[in-house]
Structure 1
Amino acid sequence: MKSILLHIEGDSCMKARMQVALDIARTCDAHITCLQAVSYEVFAPGDFYGSALAAAMPKIKEAADELRAEIEKDLENEGVSFEWRFMYGMAETRLLEQSALHDVILVGPNDVGEEGRGPSAMVGELVLKAPVPVFVIPKDTTSLDLGQDVLVAWNGSSEACVALRAAVPLLKHAGKVYLASVAEENGRNRFDFPPSEGAKYLSRHGVSSEVIEIPRGQAKISDTLFSAAQMRECGYMVMGAYGHSRIAEMLLGGVTRRSLSDPQLPIFMAH
């Protein structure tokens, strides 16, 4: 991971994802591209001539400039390589456009301007369409030690394989990697790619792993995975994202959607 695309927005998760970007940059000697997107699609009922937009944009731009000055001042004291890109437009559109020459996108779990539970439409669009993995950072994250253990959610799908493959550069730093599958209620798991294949793949990259099966119980699969990761004091979770619709927040796969609605720890996702 040498090139990090960091979403800049004045939301409650900004501090958390900034810290994670710094932690990854220091560990991997990576460069941070700070992307700040300001939308000009301001809508006011009855504003047929754009007067509300004309009045709002200078204030929005002023707030964006203040945020930039604050963050750049902090970054200049962190000793990491970074650059700033300011663009007009929807954040998800600009992040998608800029992602092709980056290794990972760092975002929060919420849509721009929304602080409630997701799932975020922006995160859904990025996960399903970006050519690189997306690291979703909840606001309670204070740091990311890449040397901590990591839990990889494994269901044998091609999406899980893609996420595992994308995570290898980070997993090489992990203390221990758990390939975790949740037992089906009928006791018969079906894997297109069994966990043993994932473990073999990791071993070829010098990453050792432990295959574990977690009892389903009464909890949702997403909650079961989060609990398993937290019990093992994992720093983050790797997950393949399933979905196929432009309305990504509605038709993401059930486990993906629920995991993004209230993430209990950082989630590294790929599709």
Structure 2
Amino acid sequence: MPSKTLLTVTGPDQGDDDLKLATGLCEEINAHLSVLVLVIAAPPSGGAYAEVVSPAWLAERQAEMEMLQKRISAVSKMLSASPVSTDLSDDYPDHAWADEVIGRRARYADLTVLGPDLLTSQTLKEKVIEGALFSSGRPLLLVPKGPTVTLKPKRVLVAWDASLEASRALRESLNILSGADEVRVAMVNPIEDERHHGAEPGADVASYLSRHGVKVAVDRLPSSNHSIADVLRRHAVDTGAELMVMGAYGHSRLRERIFGGVTRSMIEDPGLPIIMAR
């Protein structure tokens, strides 16, 4: 199913580049743009009841709400000149609930777009990623600074590990994959058994994609003592991929934060636009 609504999130410290990027993607695929302006509320200092006695905290919250209104006004002005249909919403959640707020909003979009500006905002970036991936049931598009992004790519790399998360990402991207000239399914150190990739790794996923009209090729890659994320990034460069599709957080978030993982590595250094889903 083609995407008809894209969501992007912006905060008080972001410029308009991410909004322009999302607008351009909506123009490209004739989609609606939904914008969420978000300021995460400062927690009270000095304990759970500090808000009762802390004028400084109250003043900080007042300043944040003023920043929110200022950003809403600026975004509204920009959207009024947009060539695509738009809607604008805002929220001022506490830190603990920000990802839930974003996730609820993302449920009414086909894809959440996280652009280069937001990738530099550590707290808001994490909340958008967690909200989109864990609270929306919708995919996320990461767009790093530098590479050109398109939702009509000619060459796509699918990172395939036969997991539920990779399967979800694949299905969410079928419309994009079927329109590409070349889709390469990459597997790093694939395991040949029924619990993993089957007797012939890549054969089942290639057959599935072919039935959807996807022009697919399968690449079985050795890690050669490199991380899986590094192998995928290198292969994306070698094949000229404009977009990567992958499942996210096959392991728990806690495990990835402590020990590292493919998802965490790709978030920190995408290298190219990536659609993630879980």
Same fold (TM over 0.5): yes
* Superposition deviation, residue 213 in structure 1: 1.8
User: Which residue of 1 is the match for residue 64 of structure 2?
Assistant: 60
1:198 aligns to 2:205 (yes or no):
yes
Instruction: State how far apart, in whole Å, the 2-side matches of 1:3 and 1:126 are.
Output: 14
Contact between 1:243 and 1:252, CA under 8 Å: does it hold in 2? no
Aligned residue pair count: 265
Aligned-pair identity (%)? 30
TM-score in terms of structure 1 length: 0.82
Deviations 1:180-212 (A, max 9, x none): 11135xxx5453464222222222322221111
Task: Please give the secondary structure, in 2, of the residue aligned with 1:242.
Answer: coil
Which structure: larger Rg? 2
Deviations 1:143-196 (A, max 9, x none): 436233111101122221111001112223323211111135xxx545346422
Task: Answer with 55-64 or 67-76: which moved more.
Answer: 67-76
User: Which residue of 1 is the match for residue 34 of structure 2?
Assistant: 33
Contact between 1:111 and 1:121, CA under 8 Å: does it hold in 2? no
User: Which residue of 2 is the match for residue 6 of structure 1?
Assistant: 8
Q: Which runs of 5+ in 1 are unaligned?
A: none
* Superposition deviation, residue 122 in structure 1: 4.8
User: Which residue of 2 is the match for residue 268 of structure 1?
Assistant: 275
> Alignment RMSD, CA only?
3.1
Name whichever structure is richer in helix by fraction. Answer: 2
Instruction: State how far apart, in whole Å, the 2-side matches of 1:123 and 1:72 are.
Output: 24
1:239 aligns to 2:246 (yes or no):
yes
Instruction: State how far apart, in whole Å, the 2-side matches of 1:74 and 1:142 are.
Output: 22
Task: Please give the secondary structure, in 2, of the residue aligned with 1:39.
Answer: coil
Q: Which runs of 5+ in 2 are unaligned?
A: none
Instruction: State how far apart, in whole Å, the 2-side matches of 1:196 and 1:58 are.
Output: 58
* Superposition deviation, residue 76 in structure 1: 3.5
Instruction: State how far apart, in whole Å, the 2-side matches of 1:253 and 1:222 are.
Output: 11
**Counterpart residue identity of residue 3, structure 1:** T
Task: Answer with 128-137 or 139-148: which moved more.
Answer: 139-148
Q: How does 1:86-125 map to 2 (within 5 A)?
A: 86-89=90-93, 90-108=97-115, 113-114=121-122, 120=126, 122-125=128-131
Deviations 1:69-119 (A, max 9, x none): 33333333341111100122143221111222221112258789538xx9x
Instruction: State how far apart, in whole Å, the 2-side matches of 1:45 and 1:136 are.
Output: 37
User: Which residue of 2 is the match for residue 80 of structure 1?
Assistant: 84
